[in-house]
Amino acid sequence: MTKLRIGLISVSDRAANGVYQDQGLPALEAWLQKALITPFEIKQRLVPDEQPIIEQALRELVDEHFCHLVLTTGGTGPARRDVTPDATLAVADREMPGFGEQMRQISLNFVPTAILSRQVAVIRKQSLIINLPGQPKSVQETLEGIKETEERKAVHGIFASVPYCIQLLEGPYIETDPQVIIAFRPKSAKRQTNSRT
């Protein structure tokens, strides 16, 4: 059985230059450890806000390391140096616009400036690449969504759709911890599997 391979890229000039400690990669890895039941291995990259370097990292993770899923964090705003979406689109075979729409929808529950985000998701070969926000708290909200409260309706997190997308791309079957995120699939795509005890 193919082991799930996940690529993580943190895009930050200052973290890449050692001005401060990167928070993106540890936050992403911690969330995945918490959310996934399926065993996985991670490849990480910390890069500056330079489009050719981001493109190179994306190609390397997909083409050489055969990552089924690549998550980026940072560089998705309108500032001149925010070029992560541009790099992602440059290496894409197909765009998956629903992910970007849903990420902005989630973030709009917290800040009106969510509409300034240019996050995209694409397919390259048989890999799904998703641009996540730069802040660890926003990353978690985007992945998990918003739980129902008296004041607020539930909003689905984007990761609920990731396992089925990977399955459609002929990648490994991904199981999640339902306490964190429930992976949604049509009944016909579900398999009997072992879950955490």
What gap in Å lies between CA 16 and CA 10, rounded to an integer? 9
Q: Is the pLDDT of residue 25 over 80?
A: yes
Give the whole-angstrom CA distance, residue 138 versus residue 130. 14
Counting every residue, how long is the chain?
197
- Reported as a single tens digit per residue, the pLDDT across 113-151 is 999 999 999 999 999 999 999 999 999 999 999 887 777
Q: What residues have CB less than 8 Å from 66, skipping those under 6 apart? A: 5, 127
Of 153, 146, 67, 163, nearest to 103 by C-alpha is 146
Structure tokens at 1: 């059985």
Summarize the confidence of residues 36-62 as an average pLDDT.
97
Residue 17 confidence (pLDDT) above 80: yes
Task: Examine the pLDDT at 190 and tell me if it is beyond 50.
Answer: yes
pLDDT at 193: 62
User: How many helices, marked H, and strands, marked E, lie in the chain?
Assistant: 7, 8
Element (H, E) at 121: strand 121-124
Give the least confident one: 88-97, 126-135, 182-191. 182-191
**68 confidence band (pLDDT: 50, 70, 90):** very high
Confidence of residue 14 (pLDDT cuts 50, 70, 90): confident
Which range scores top for mean pLDDT: 30-34, 110-114, 144-148, 187-191? Answer: 30-34
pLDDT at 192: 73
* Fold topology of 4-189: Molybdenum Cofactor Biosythetic Enzyme; Chain A (3.40.980)
Domain extent listing, the chain: 4-189
| Spatial contact of 160 and 182, defined as CB atoms under 8 Å apart | yes
Mean pLDDT lowest among 19-23, 28-32, 129-133, 161-165: 19-23
- Give SS3 for 78: coil
Burial code (b: 16+ CB inside 10 Å, e: under 16) for 116-146 equals: ebbbbbbbbeebbbbbbbbbbebbbbbbbbb
Handedness of CA 76, 184, 61, 40 (dihedral sign): positive
Q: What is the pLDDT of residue 194?
A: 55
Say yes or no to pLDDT of 197 above 50.
no
Residue 36: the pLDDT is: 98
